[in-house]
Amino acid sequence: MDEEHHYDLVVVGGGPAGSSAAFAAAKNGIKVALLEKENSIAETVRTSGVTWIKNIKEFGIPDDCFNPIKNFSFCSPNNEVMISDSVPRAAVLDVRKSYRWLAQQAKESGADIFLKVNVNNVIKNEEGDIVGVTGIGPNGKITFHSKVVIDASGFPSTLCKAMGFVSQWKRFGAGAEYEVKAENVESDTWWLMVGQQYSPAGYAWIFPLGNNIVRIGVGVGKPESDVDPTQRLKELMDSKVGPIKKLGKLTPIEFHYGLIPNDGLSRDTVFNNLILVGDSAGQANPLVLEGIRYAIKFGRVAGKVASEAIKSGKTDKDALKPYEENWRKAIESKINSAGKVQDRWIGLSDEEWDKELDIIKELNSEEFIDFIKAEFGLSNMVKLATHHPKLAVRQLFNLVKGKK
C-alpha cells in the first residue's frame, strides 16, 4: 500500500550532514523527516572516521565515541617523521556510534527518522521546483511532500542529479580499509604512508581506535590513477610493508569502502526549495580527503537556515542563500589553497616525497594539524612565517600558491 507524508522539511541521507541538519531544523520548531536507505543509521561504514578534537568538543560528541591521537607519523619510502604533542589534537571516530549519536540528537529534538527508504525521484511543482521526494519504503512506494528538501545523500548526490542540476563528480578519492585486531598498537599514534608503493595518487594509513583495533587503508585519487585501492590494500597487508609490519599479527574484523568528492567547491549548493550539504556539496578537505566536521557544522547551518526560511514562508534560492554564504566564507579560500597543495602532492616521486617530509618535520603539532586540516588563514600563515621564516616563506607559501 502506498504511503504519503507531509513535512515542512525532508532531509535525505542519515549520515553526519543529514542528521545534523535534521537536528538543527527540528530544534528550531519545524516538522522534519530524516530518510535513510539502510536498515539502520551507519549500517555500512564508508569512512576512516578521522577528525579533530577541537571540532569534537564544538559538536558535543561524547568521549566514548572517539579515540584521541597526539602523535602523527609520516613515512615515505626512505624517510620517517614523527610529530608529537602532550595533548591530543586529532581523533579517530567510532563511526557507527558517532553517527547514531547524531541521529539520536535529531530524534530527541523532534525529527522523525524513516529507515529503509530508498529515494529514487523528486516531486516538482508547476514551476519545476522540488516540493518533495518519492521512493521505495519497507511497505512499497512512499511519498514525502515538503516545503524544503536537503540533499545529504553523500557522494551519489541523488536529488540534485534527479533535478538535473549536477552531473557525476569527475575527480574523487576511492578508499578501501580493513578494521583489524592487531598484536602491537600505539593507540595514540596514527600513520600516514606516502609514495608509489603505498598509493600512486593518494596515501595509505593506520588509524587506531583503541583496544588494539586499527583501521589500515589505502586512498587513491581518480582519475589520476587506475590502481584499485582494494587490491593495493591487500598487497600492503600481505607484504606488511613499512609500519604495517610493526603491528604484528592482524585479524580482520570488517571491510570498509567509500568514495569522496575531490572536485573542489564546484557546485552551487542552494536552489529553490533545495539545499546541498556534506559530500553532495563537495565539502571535503582535499589534503587528507576528510569532511565529517564540515558535514556536521554546515549540516547544522543548513537546518537552521531551512527552518527559518520555512517559518518566513519564503523558501526560494534567495531565502536559502545565507547557508551558502556561511560555508563559503568559512572554508572556500582554505579549500582552494589546499587543492593547490594536493595538486603538487599527487605528482611527487618517491624521492620528492622524502624531501617533502623534511618540510613537514619542521612543524610543531599545532602547526601540522592546521596544515593538514587546510586551515590556511592569514593568521596561521603569519604565525608559520614568524616561527619558521625560512621554511614558511620559501617552501610552505610556495605550496599554498601552487608553485611547482
The CATH number for 132's domain is 3.50.50.60
Residues 354 and 255 in one domain: no
The reported pLDDT for the residue numbered 180 is 98
Residues 222 and 78 in one domain: yes
Is 197 part of a structural domain of the chain?
yes
pLDDT above 70: percentage of residues in the chain: 93
The residue that leads in pLDDT, 244 or 367, is 244
Report pLDDT digits (tens) over 80-94: 999 999 999 999 999
Report pLDDT digits (tens) over 278-333: 999 999 999 888 999 999 999 999 999 999 999 999 999 999 999 999 999 999 98
Report pLDDT digits (tens) over 334-382: 898 888 888 888 878 999 999 889 888 888 888 888 888 888 665 665 5
Mean pLDDT of the chain: 93
| β-bridge pairing 50-52 and 148-151 | unpaired
Residues 211 and 246 in one domain: yes
Domain boundary among 260, 282, 310: 260
pLDDT band at residue 391, thresholds of 50, 70 and 90?
A: low
Residues 218 and 249 in one domain: yes
Q: The domain containing residue 198 runs over which residues?
A: 66-93+179-260
Q: Which three cell numbers stand for residue 24?
A: 538543527
Scored b (16 or more CB within 10 A) or e, 90-120 reads bbbbbbbbbbbbbbebbbebbbebbbbbebe
pLDDT above 90: percentage of residues in the chain: 82
User: Which CATH number goes with the domain that contains 255?
Assistant: 3.30.9
Is 59 part of a structural domain of the chain?
no
Residues 305 and 378 in one domain: no
Report pLDDT digits (tens) over 40-62: 999 999 999 999 999 999 999 99
pLDDT band at residue 403, thresholds of 50, 70 and 90?
A: very low
Residues 139 and 164 in one domain: yes
Domain boundary among 331, 358, 376: 331
Domain count, the chain: 3
The reported pLDDT for the residue numbered 339 is 87
The reported pLDDT for the residue numbered 404 is 42
Q: Considering the entire predicted model, what is its pTM?
A: 0.94
Residues 238 and 297 in one domain: no
The reported pLDDT for the residue numbered 390 is 53
Residues 256 and 384 in one domain: no
Residues 207 and 85 in one domain: yes
The reported pLDDT for the residue numbered 137 is 97
Comparing CA positions, the residue from 163, 167, 166, 136 lying closest to residue 149 is 163
Domain boundary among 229, 260, 291: 260
Ramachandran class of 307: left when φ > 0, alpha when ψ lies in -120 to 50, beta otherwise: alpha
Report pLDDT digits (tens) over 207-231: 999 999 999 999 999 999 999 999 9
Contacts of 233 (CB under 8 A, 6+ apart): 176, 177, 178, 204, 216, 217, 218
Residues 19 and 161 in one domain: yes
- Three-state secondary structure readout of the chain: CCEEEECCEEEECCCHHHHHHHHHHHHCCCCEEEECCCCCCCCCCCCCCEEEHHHHHHHCCCHHHEEEECEEEEEECCEEEEEECCCCCEEEECHHHHHHHHHHHHHHCCCEEECCCEEEEEEECCCCCEEEEEEEECCEEEEEECCEEEECCCCCCHHHHHCCCCCCCCCEEEEEEEEEEECCCCCCEEEEEEECCCEEEEEEEEEEEECCEEEEEEEEEECCCCCCHHHHHHHHHHHCCHHHHHHCCEEEEEEEEEEEECCCCCCCCEECCEEECHHHHCCCECCCCECHHHHHHHHHHHHHHHHHHHHHCCCCHHHHHHHHHHHHHHHHHHHHHHHHHHHHHHCCCHHHHHHHHHHHCCCCHHHHHHHHCCCCCHHHHHHHHHHCHHHHHHHHHHHHHCCC
Q: How far apart are CA 98 and CA 350, in angstroms?
A: 36
Burial class (CB in 10 A: 0-12, 13-18, 19+), 60: exposed
| β-bridge pairing 3-6 and 250-261 | unpaired
Residues 70 and 192 in one domain: yes
